[in-house]
Amino acid sequence: MPSTDTPYDRQFTHAPDGRLDAPAYHRNFEPMLAVLRDRLAERNGHVLEVGSGTGQHVVGFARALPSTTWWPSDPAPEHRRSADAWHAESGAANVMPAIDLDAAAPDVGRGGAAGWPLESFAAVLAMNVIHIAPWRVCEGIMRLAGAHLAPAGLLFLYGPFRRGGTHNAPSNEAFDAMLRRENIEWGVRDLEEVEAVAEREGLRLAEIAEMPANNLTVIFECKPDDG
């Protein structure tokens, strides 16, 4: 999962109650909400966010999509504290306590975690995660989604991607180079390689939504059960 010393974490501001405020949240919340509202507004059920960071997104999405129940998760204690503090400040009834979940763990997706809902998830969401984490985190997210999404469930990945090995903007190329200088295991991922891992876990690429600042939201869904 993302380190607590990433380009995003360094921009956080801190409140006395543990709430962290991320500039990225204020830039991408509304565009991401538009994507989710179009695809989840008619759905009920549970939504898991992997790598929730500050927890601001979960609270905002829960308010806008009251028929869903949101589960923030993050391996970093300070991030979980922030998510729970934002939840407490909001009073949202459809947000659950933050889960300690590390998508890099070898057993992720092969069993639940303490406090998970008994039923499957209607959706899984990961924003700005796989490019600031080792590749095994992407593999873990796909394994988790393949194992725990309900039939017709959706996986949303938000962030920068390469397509055909090519960046879609010079700014993303520079960002990629900066990430790789910081940690050789980080970097903007090739969409085709992400799709290949998804296919292996029983997911198919359903849609690609263009987002501001040269980002994408890549949406996968469970393949129909041929059995």
- Domain-located, residue 106: yes
The confidence score (pLDDT) of residue 2 equals 45
pLDDT tens-digit series, residues 6-59? 877 777 888 889 999 999 999 999 999 999 999 998 889 999 999 999 999 999
The residues near 95 (Cβ < 8 Å, ≥ 6 apart) are: 58, 59, 62, 69, 70, 72, 87
Residue 152 resides in a domain: yes
Residue 89 lies in a domain: yes
Tens digits of residue pLDDT in 154-200: 999 999 999 999 999 999 999 999 999 999 999 999 999 999 999 99
Residue corresponding to tokens 């209607």: 122
Residue 109 lies in a domain: yes
From 126, 129, 117, 196, select the one nearest 155 (Cα to Cα): 126
168, two tokens: 């879609």
What is the domain range of residue 212? 9-222
Q: How many domains does the chain have?
A: 1
CATH of the domain at 151: 3.40.50.150
Q: What is the pLDDT of residues 120-165, one digit of tens each?
A: 899 999 999 999 999 999 999 999 999 999 999 999 999 999 999 9
Angle between the N-to-C axes of helices 56-64 and 77-90, in degrees from 0 to 180, rounded to the nearest 10? 30
Does residue 2 sit within a domain?
no
The answer to whether position 165 is within a domain reads yes
Whether 207 is in a domain gets the answer yes
Q: Is residue 144 part of a domain?
A: yes
